[in-house]
Structure 1
Amino acid sequence: MSANDEILQILKDALERAGSVSGRRMFGGVGVYFDGIFFAIIDDGVIYLKTSEATRPVFEAEHSRAFSYMTKNGSAALHSYWRLPERLLDDADELTEWASASVAAAKHAASQAGRKAKPARVAGTAKRAGKPKT
């Protein structure tokens, strides 16, 4: 069992009463889903949780950092996912709170993505009611 698999099991245990947690391999790490909602990344045995404007200050107070990765052009960061403080791996109750807040942030982000406005129609493309095409 790899370090990522062990960490995934810790998240599964933390959220088992609330819903289904699953992992999918992605780019050498693991994408973690709660009832189909992507809420965490596990990379090199480290958990990065989805954050929001409301939850990010808690991560900052813990001196956490955003998920970063190397590209061919150098380092890049994904600022919506922040490292879970290691101390929480030994505190099941607090880990559950943080993971639940991350799931809520992911659900909120997903609902906002679905609300994006449809592109406006180009003038003259709407059909005129009651007039047949000629």
Structure 2
Amino acid sequence: MAVDAGLVAWIGEALEPLGVLTRRPMMGGMTFYLDGQVFAIAADDTLWFKSDAVSDPEWDAAGCARFSFEMKDGSVATMNYRRAPDDVYDDADEMRRWARLGLEAGLRAPKKAKKRAK
């Protein structure tokens, strides 16, 4: 399932003032980066911003659900991403506001160790 090209274009247009937007395919969806830092994913044409314990209260106050998915064994797993508020889809200022929150969470996230060559 591909991410809607119109959504991708809108994200790029709205976030242009914040930096260089890049993206990579991810299990039927897409991962978004600003200046090389992951800050959001899109799945089923829904945008999800990165979150963490620091930003969770703001996401909770806005009623933004946590990203969850069903595992093969039937259990439900969650990731530190929150559903974007509806107004980000038509208001560039709101898109930038919530994207910054996702970007800040991404910057606070522990960095993965790089694999060493043998």
TM-score scaled to structure 1, two decimals? 0.73
Q: Distance in 2 between matches of 1:76 and 1:54?
A: 21
- Please report how far the alpha carbon of residue 38 of structure 1 lies from its aligned counterpart in structure 2 after TM superposition: 1.3
Answer yes or no: is the 8 Å Cα contact 1:4–1:43 preserved in 2: no
Q: What SS does structure 2 have at the residue aligned with 1:68?
A: strand
Q: Distance in 2 between matches of 1:44 and 1:92?
A: 21
Partner of 1:60: 60
Q: Distance in 2 between matches of 1:73 and 1:5?
A: 33
> Quick check: 1:20 aligned with 2:16?
no
Q: Distance in 2 between matches of 1:113 and 1:3?
A: 27
Q: Residue type matched to 1:113 in 2?
A: K
Indicate the structure whose relative CO is greater, using CA pairs within 8 Å and at least 6 residues apart.
2
- Please report how far the alpha carbon of residue 61 of structure 1 lies from its aligned counterpart in structure 2 after TM superposition: 1.4
- Please report how far the alpha carbon of residue 42 of structure 1 lies from its aligned counterpart in structure 2 after TM superposition: 0.1
Q: What SS does structure 2 have at the residue aligned with 1:22?
A: strand
CA displacement 1:85-134 (0-9 Å, x = unmatched):
1122122112111101211210121xx4369xxxxxxxxxxxxxxxxxxx
CA displacement 1:48-76 (0-9 Å, x = unmatched):
10112232112111221111122211221
Answer yes or no: is the 8 Å Cα contact 1:4–1:46 preserved in 2: no
Q: Distance in 2 between matches of 1:51 and 1:70?
A: 20
Partner of 1:46: 46
- Please report how far the alpha carbon of residue 3 of structure 1 lies from its aligned counterpart in structure 2 after TM superposition: 4.5
Percent identity of equivalent pairs: 32
Structure 1: state its 5+ residue gaps.
116-134
Q: Distance in 1 between matches of 2:84 and 2:67?
A: 10
Root-mean-square deviation (CA, aligned residues, Å) is 1.9
Q: Residue type matched to 1:49 in 2?
A: F
Q: Distance in 2 between matches of 1:69 and 1:5?
A: 23
Q: 1:113 aligns with which of 107, 111, 114?
A: 111
Counting matched residue pairs gives 111
TM-score scaled to structure 2, two decimals? 0.82
Partner of 1:103: 103
